[in-house]
Each structure stands twice: as C-alpha cells, then as structure tokens.
Structure 1
Amino acid sequence: MAIKDLSLAAKTVVDGFMSGINKSTIKGAGLEFSQYRSYQPGDDLRSLDWKMFARSDRYYIRESEVETNISIRFLVDASASMNHSDGDFKKIDYARYLVASLAYLGNLQGDAIGLYVFKDGGIFSMAAKQDYQHLSRLFHQLETIKPEGTFTKPIHYKELYSGAQKRELLIFVTDLYQQNEEIFQLLDTLNTLKHEVVVFQIMAKNELDLDFKGYSSFEDLETGQTIQIDQAVARKNYKEQLEKHLEQMRIKLLDKHIYYRMLTTDQPLDQALRDFLNQRNKLRN
C-alpha cells in the first residue's frame, strides 16, 4: 500500500501467486481433460474420441473442464465512515487497493468488471466490460472516490437491476455502518437478483481495540454526533459488545447465503486475498 499508483499496486499484489478466482467445474470442450462418458443421441459428433472407438468398438465422448468468464461487479461504500483512519491509511484506501487487485485479477482471467460506488447522493455506476482500457478507467474512478455523507438510500437500489441478466459475482466492500438497516436492505436486493454475493467488511485496528491514544471525545463521521468516554474504563464492555455485534452480522449474512470476511487495515493485503481465494475455492469444490 506504499505504492500510490493503483494499477502498479494491483499488479504487484496479484502477479506470481493469485489465480483461479472463478475456475469452473462444469464440463465442456475445454483443453483440460476430465473424463469419458458414453455417447448419447444429440451429442456433438466432434467430441467423439475415435481412438477409444478403435480400441473398444464403442462410442465415447471426451469431456474437459473449462474456465468460464463471468461478470464481476464491485460495490464500494463511500459514506463518510470510510474516512476513518488508523495511522497513515484510511478504510477507503484499503478498499481501493482491495478492489483494484481483484479487478486486475478478474481482467487477467477475461472477466467483465464493473464498479458501483454508494455515496450520499445516490449510486455511481460503471457498466461491466472486459478490456484493459476499461480497467484503467475503473482504477481512475477508484482513485477519485471521496467518502462523505451517509450510505445511499434504498430508493436508489433499483439502479442495480440494470446489470446483465446472467449470473454475476457481486463483491461489496464496506464497513457495515448503518443507521436504519439500509445496508441489509441492499443485500436483500442483491439476493433477489440471484447473484453470488461476497461482503468484505473493512475495519481499523483502533476501532476493534478502542485504542485512540490521547482522545476522550469521539465524533460519528456520518451524523456528527459526539460523545465523551474514558477509554480505559469503557474498553472491556466496548470490545464485548462489538464482538457480539460482529458475530450477529456474520450470522445474518450466512443466513442469506452471503460469503463474509472481515479485513483490518493493518492486515497485509496479499495474505488477505490469498486466504480469501483459497477458502472460496474450497467452498466451490
């Protein structure tokens, strides 16, 4: 994250160890051999294995595993709470690098990629396409995000229905801060589209530990409300309540069949993505 150029940072993270974000297990006329099966009326005769016929005097179809290209839409929370920082980096900075790396990976694999930014006044949308120029435009849009205001109101969620009709992978990057369940209303909307949904919750370590050295007054970045607390006295109860809250959200998302993973801004991005891809591949196999 010391690399300020998003395209270079994404390439650095991805190259050398990331692969297979959406390797399919369906059968088709690919290059990687999978198995033989008996010929059935209506099968493509070009798939017949004549060598097997010569040896067995029976017709067999040679099947292969193929890679499927999909459409990936990245949804980024640009409400004011994403401006929260711990040290040199804000949550929105981590979100930028996370999305840039996954977009770079998707583009390498021939996937169409799109971007939706949820901000106070509505939704910025960038349709999914597959080409390097489109990837460069996506990087530019990520760089220009300026979090402000509250999360997008549900009235704007209808814009999400304008995507492609085929099944998509939707990757939502957010801190999951909401006032009236608006984020879970969004996730319910995404579920009605029958797409695969992944939620990355971005948190700062000082949020998790209530470790703000020298501060006793705290301001809600979205509402402007301020409170006074003694960190040392409040820390134990705060951490217990936060842990309970995070577990409740995790269970809610799992009940909706949504993949959930929390990332902290001090966590190395390459390791976080490697763990995510490995776990995702295990779930799909």
Structure 2
Amino acid sequence: MSKLLDPKIMMAIKDLSLAAKTTIDGFMQGINKSAIKGPGMEFSQYRSYQPGDDLRLLDWKMFARSDRYYIRESEIETNITLRLLVDASASMDHQDGDFKKIDYARYLAASLAYLGNLQGDIIGLNVFREHEVIALPAKQDFQHLSRLFYQLEQITPAGKFTAADVYTPLYTGGGSSELTILISDLYQDTNEIFELLDVAGTMKHEVIVFHLMSRNELELDFQGYSNFEDLETGETIQVDQSAIRKAYMSKLQTYLEEVKERALDKRIFYRMLRTDQPLDTAIRDFLNQRKKLKV
C-alpha cells in the first residue's frame, strides 16, 4: 500500500485536491484493478443456457468454439449519489501530534469525493456546526469537485454539533437513495447525531459512519498534562492519568461497544478509525458499500 496513505505524509501536501488525487492513485495501485469500475457495462462471467433465457444474450462465438450454449452475463455499474456529512463541532479540533481530527476528516472526505467523481458519482457535502449546516448540493463535474474541496479547506470547528431542528428540514421530502457517509467523533450534547442518522435511515439511504478517535484519547496518553478542557463546553477538570487509566479504558470500551451496537441496530455500517492510521480501510469500506447500493 502506498505510503502516501499515511496521514502524516498525506497532510504534508497542502493542496487538498492534490492530496486526494495522490491518495487515491496510491490506493488504486495497491489493490486488484477489478475492484474499481467506472460507469457502463462490464463483462462478468459465462453461465450455461437455461430454458427461458433471452436468446439475444447467447454468445455465438463461444458456441462456435465449444458447440455449447452460453449466456454472457454482464455487470451494470450505475452512478450513485454520494453525500458526505462532516462534523465540524469544536471537539473535532482535538489534536494528537501534528494534526487534528478535522484534518483527518477533511482529507478523508476529499479522497472519497475524488474517488466518487472518478466513478461518475453525484457528490454532495454537508458540514455540521452549531446553529448551521453548510450545504453543497449534489452534482457531478470537476468544477463542483473543486468547490467541494474549497468548502472542506474552509472548515473551522466551533461549538457543538448542529441541533436537530436546524438540519431536519434539509432531509425532508422524497428523492432517490443515497450513500450517506458521516465523518465524526460522535461527541454529542444529547442525541443530535443519531437523530440525523435516523432521518437518513427513514429515507432508505445506505449509511456509513466513520468514527474518528485519536491515539492519545484511546490510550489516555496526554504526556505532561493534568488539566483537561472540554472543547465544546469550555469546562476543565484536573486528572491524574495513571490513577484513572484502568477505569477510563473500561468505560471507553463500554462506550465504543454501545455506539457500534446502536449503529448496527439501525443497519448502519460502522467503522472506528484512528487518526494516525492510513486511509485505505475507509476507502475499501466505501467501495464495498457502494456496490451494495441499488439505485
């Protein structure tokens, strides 16, 4: 797998569009070429003719070679609508080493958007921050992709996650099925994030949640710090990390299991991602879920 999928190397590329292209090019070099297909009709396999099959699907060249009747099956690749939901609440400003959760989120979203555009998908972006939703309508062209990259570059985390009464009107009405991807650390004041996922679920969208966690919060390893501030409320507490680590790890594990179970109960694909790990896992998950979506 390309080293350019390493977040530290990827985030050294300041141009977001170049970083996304470099990431996807590196990813595609490391996987079976057949895993990524563009729009159109692609040959899949032959199977024996069965009574009732459409005779127009018979492969006469194969019959000439084998004197047997075969049906040529093809796989139809269809475009989908891909909607990226990015959490821009203040907790996404959490930092581990040289970069923040929001950095990982913007590069992940850019990479998925670039790959979706490459496959002919229609792509939209919603950024959630207290009291507002920045919405970029779903379109398919490189100009639109450039606007999406620009919006991702402008994200400045602030406040809490958008309240449900603000974003719910954006998701009312009909529309075709989408592949909805939420990139978030899932920190919420009440239940606003899972209410958003409920809305997407009722609209019959396929949903992926990429749950971002940093190494230092997963391991409670904040070297040299004893005072901790809640980025969204501003509250501070004093902590002896070594004294509470065992209890913290136990509660964290319980929390992660509950979040995963809650997502699975809603038929949401859930993946926890460490922000110091390469993006290939997330990209593979996107490709797998894309194949399942029926337009």
**TM-score scaled by structure 2?**
0.83
1:219 corresponding residue in structure 2? 229
1:195 corresponding residue in structure 2? 205
166-175 vs 13-22, which moves further: 13-22
Q: Which residue among 116, 126, 133 is the counterpart of 1:116?
A: 126
Q: Does 1:166 align with 2:176?
A: yes
Q: Does 1:268 align with 2:278?
A: yes
Secondary structure of 1:202's aligned partner:
strand
Q: Which residue among 71, 79, 84 is the counterpart of 2:81?
A: 71
8 Å contact from structure 2 (residues 174, 203) kept in 1: no
Identity of aligned residues (%): 57
8 Å contact from structure 1 (residues 21, 106) kept in 2: no
Alignment coverage as a number of residue pairs: 276
**Structure 2 stretches lacking a partner, 5+ long:** 1-10
Query: Structure 1 residues 103, 216: CA separation in 2 closer, same or farther (over 3 Å shift)?
Result: same
Q: Does 1:30 align with 2:22?
A: no
Q: Distance in 1 between matches of 2:45 and 2:236?
A: 61
RMSD: 3.0
8 Å contact from structure 1 (residues 7, 136) kept in 2: yes
8 Å contact from structure 2 (residues 132, 166) kept in 1: yes
2:60 corresponding residue in structure 1? 51
Q: Distance in 2 between matches of 1:111 and 1:39?
A: 37
8 Å contact from structure 2 (residues 200, 207) kept in 1: yes
| One-letter amino acid of the structure 1 residue matched with residue 220 of structure 2 | L
**1:1-285 pair list within 5 angstroms:** 1-18=11-28, 30-35=41-46, 47-49=56-58, 51=60, 62-161=72-171, 165-269=175-279, 271-273=280-282, 275-277=284-286, 280=289
| One-letter amino acid of the structure 2 residue matched with residue 6 of structure 1 | L
Query: Structure 1 residues 119, 104: CA separation in 2 closer, same or farther (over 3 Å shift)?
Result: same
Q: Distance in 2 between matches of 1:38 and 1:206?
A: 60
**Structure 1 stretches lacking a partner, 5+ long:** none
8 Å contact from structure 2 (residues 102, 157) kept in 1: yes
8 Å contact from structure 1 (residues 157, 189) kept in 2: no
Secondary structure of 2:79's aligned partner:
coil
8 Å contact from structure 1 (residues 21, 281) kept in 2: no
8 Å contact from structure 1 (residues 71, 168) kept in 2: yes
Cα-to-partner distance string for 1:237-280 (whole Å, 9 max, x where unaligned): 111101110111001101111001111111122x3335535765
Query: Structure 1 residues 222, 106: CA separation in 2 closer, same or farther (over 3 Å shift)?
Result: same
Query: Structure 1 residues 109, 279: CA separation in 2 closer, same or farther (over 3 Å shift)?
Result: closer
